[in-house]
Amino acid sequence: MKQKTLIIVKPDGVLRGLTGEVISRFERKGLKLCAAKFQSLSKEVAEKHYAEHSEKPFFSDLVSFIVSAPVMLMVVEGNYAIPSVRNLVGATNGAEAAPGTIRGDFGSSRSFNIIHASDSPEAAEREIANFFNPDEIVSYDLPPQSYLFEENE
């Protein structure tokens, strides 16, 4: 099942020079990079992105952190992209994330956890639309990779 999902390399990942490492992990998994841009987020965009947390006590810290430095925004596509990305990302708290995951290898806490990834098809659709216009998402085919996916998936 083909899916698209949003990934954000957060300020801590960008400032630590981990953007390339993060992208390469998704590409090695067989996911296709469809859109990417490097930018600083406005407070308004950050508040919209994190709107579901607006009533939580950590909301203002979350917004302040994501606008503190540039981020890398990406859309990736592939078979079961959402669960694949979530598995590669690891548990929210980097101190508790499994070794081999992005957060397990590079995250240091719940707040400084390197990366954001959409957690459902509905969230992915909403979040992609928050950051990308449809004409910014490129459609193309990768060379046949029959060794990555079974025919019926």
54 contacts: CB under 8 Å, gap ≥ 6: 47
Q: What is the Cα–Cα distance from 142 to 20, expressed in whole angstroms?
A: 20
**116 flagged as catalytic:** yes
- Which residue among the candidates 4, 49, 103, 116 is catalytic per the annotation? 116
End-to-end CA distance of the chain: 6
Quote the tokens at residue 86. Answer: 């979530």
Helix (H) or strand (E) holding 117: strand 115-117
**Residues identified as active-site:** 116
